Amino acid sequence: MLIFSGSSNKPLAQKIAHDLDKKLSPVEIFVFPDGEKRITLQEKVVDQTAVLIQSTNTPVDTNYMELFLMVDALKRSGAEFVNLIMPYFGYQRQDHIFRDGEGVSLEVMAKILEAIGINEIFVFDLHSIKIPEIFTIPTHNLSALPVFAQKIREQFSGREPILVSPDMGGIRRIKEISEMLNIPYVTIVKDRDLNTGSICDSQLNGEVDGRQAIIVDDMIATGDTMVYAADLLLKNGATSIFAFATHPVLAEKASKVLQESKIEKVFVTDTIEIPEDKKFAKLEILSIAKIAANALK
């Protein structure tokens, strides 16, 4: 088994390789002055199983193109089986036509991933659990929840926290971690305006009075969902707020918004490499490398 990394998240790829007692296979990714990339694999791949690790976070289009070209190089060079580990799956939220005239970008990406010859896909904490169904190749939705559960056990043992899903879309996720930890949960019903994308209404289902609230979500984009939930929980008597999210998309001013919010600490994973200028004091990064490595074993 050979492990290749694109340029989106090399530190994670190195960790996964390390956990498998392997080194990353060398690949040259040259960028021409006009922005075109040229991929050159530096190692023989004939008849090998190749694992490619590439997240498709921002710059999403460039990361996808790099991924497609790397897979093409692997297949044309004779790799027998190509495994893709895509810790963050770009365009996954555009999974249906929200309004007339839109496309289904997720399905375009899925179609291409299959067409270029990928044999198996591993992703993390998909926004919708129905996404693997659109693939005809084996597609596994791995989860960072075991990593979160362990952290919560360490940080909150002896206390009586409560888990919170910030919207109804996260109900399955919150049930799962609630069962893992034997900690109860509450949910928030959140409404978004489809035109502006901003949160327009929300209500809390359950009691949080006097408890530490732990919000669990799949991703942090602009951070507004987390901050909105935190304010609502505090208003309802929660004593302190902690946030857990698998994918640190951290769009726009998310880092600043979270740092200045009433949330005490924000836990994310390394599915997306966070640039230095987006890191903030309240942020703690946990690793999903072991989960990915175990899936490959």
Partner 1 sequence: MVKTQINNSDFPNFVLLTGTANEPLAMKIAKLLKSQINNPVSVFADGEIRIKIAPNLRRRHVFIIQPTCPPVNDNIIQLLLMIDAAKRASSSEVIVIMPYFGYSRQDRKEMARVPISSAVIASMIAHAGADRILTLDIHSEQEEGFIQQPWDNVYASYALAPAIKKKNLDNLVIVSPDKGGVSRATFYQGLLGASELAIVYKERDLSVNNKSEALAMVGEVKGKNVLLVDDMIDAGGTIVHAANYLKEKGAKRIFAAVTHGLFSGDALEKIGKSALEKVIVTDSVKHRNEVTKNSKIEIVSVAPLLAEAIKRIETGDSISSLIIR
Residues near partner 1 (CB under 8 A) are: 30, 32-45, 57-62, 64-66, 68-70, 72-73, 76-77, 90-91, 93-94, 97, 99-105, 107-108, 111-112, 115-116, 197, 221-222, 249, 251-252
Closest to partner 1 by CB, 61 vs 284, is 61
- Give the nearest distance from C-beta 113 to partner 1 in angstroms: 10
Q: Is the CB of 103 or the CB of 184 nearer to partner 1?
A: 103
Nearer to partner 1 by Cβ, of 89 and 185: the residue is 89
Phi first, then psi, for residue 261 (nearest 5°) are -80, 180
Pairing of strands 37-41, 27-31: antiparallel
Q: What is the DSSP string of 142-209?
A: E-SHHHHHHHHHHHHTTS--EEEESSGGGHHHHHHHHHHHT--EEEEEEEE-TTT--EEEEEEES--T
Least separation in angstroms between CB 197 and partner 1: 8
* Cβ-based nearer residue to partner 1, 73 or 289: 73
- The per-residue b/e assignment along 205-231, b for 16 or more CB within 10 angstroms, e otherwise, is eeebeebbbbbbbbbbbbbbbbbbbbe
Can you tell me the distance from the alpha carbon of 128 to that of 155, in angstroms, rounded to the nearest whole number? 29
Distance CA 79, CA 46 (A): 5
Indicate the residue among 102 and 264 with the shorter CB distance to partner 1: 102
* Closest CB to partner 1 among residues 22, 37: 37
Nearer to partner 1, 100 or 276 (CB): 100
Contact 213, 242 (CB under 8 A): yes
Closest by Cα among 79, 92, 76 to 52 = 79
User: What's the CA gap between 244 and 266, in Å, rounded?
Assistant: 6
Shortest approach of partner 1 to residue 211 CB, angstroms?
Answer: 32
**Cis preceding linkage at 132, omega within 30:** no
Q: What 8-state DSSP symbol labels residue 133?
A: G
Q: How many CB atoms lie within 10 A of CB 78?
A: 12
Residues whose CB is less than 8 angstroms from the CB of residue 276 and which lie 6 or more positions away in sequence, other chains included: none
| Nearest CA among 86, 88, 173 for reference residue 137 | 86
Task: Measure the CA–CA gap between 277 and 297, rounded to whole angstroms.
Answer: 35
CB of 62 to partner 1, least distance (A): 4
Backbone φ and ψ of 115, nearest 5°: -65, -30
- Residue nearer to partner 1 on the CB measure, 79 or 149: 79
